[in-house]
Amino acid sequence: MLVFEQAESPFFLQEVRVPRLTDARKELRRAQITEAAVRCFGRSGLERTSIADITAESGLSTGSIYAHYRSKAELVQAAARATLAKRAEVLGEYARAEDPPDPDELLARMTSAVNPVEARFGVQIWAEATTDPVIGRIVTDMIGRLRLMVHDCVTAWLVRAEGGDPAAARERAAPIAHRVIALYLAELLQTALRPPAEETTS
* 150 burial via Cβ count (<10 Å: 0-12, 13-18, 19+): buried
Name residues whose C-beta falls within 8 Å of residue 97's C-beta, 6 or more positions apart in sequence: 156
What is the number of other CB atoms lying within 10 angstroms of the CB of residue 120?
A: 22
CA distance 31 to 15: 32
Predicted pLDDT of residue 14: 47
pLDDT at residue 197, rounded to an integer? 61
pLDDT at 89: 77
Residue 52: what pLDDT? 93
Domain count within the chain: 1
Q: Are 38 and 121 in contact (CB under 8 A)?
A: yes
pLDDT for 1 equals 43
Domain extent, residue 9, equals: 2-201
> Which pTM was predicted?
0.75
Q: Give Cα separations from 144 to 109, 172, 179, 195, 199 (angstroms).
A: 19, 18, 14, 29, 29
Q: Tens-digit pLDDT profile for the chain (202 aa)?
A: 433 344 444 444 444 444 566 778 888 899 999 999 999 998 999 889 999 999 999 999 999 899 999 988 899 889 988 887 877 777 777 777 778 899 999 999 989 888 899 899 989 999 989 998 988 998 888 888 888 889 999 998 999 888 878 999 999 999 999 999 999 999 999 999 988 665 544 4
pLDDT of residue 113: 85
CATH number of the domain encompassing residue 182: 1.10.357.10
Question: Residue 74 CB: number of other CB atoms within 10 A?
Answer: 13
Q: Using one digit for the tens of pLDDT, what is the confidence trace for 72-110?
A: 889 988 998 888 787 777 777 777 777 889 999 999 998
pLDDT value at position 6? Answer: 44
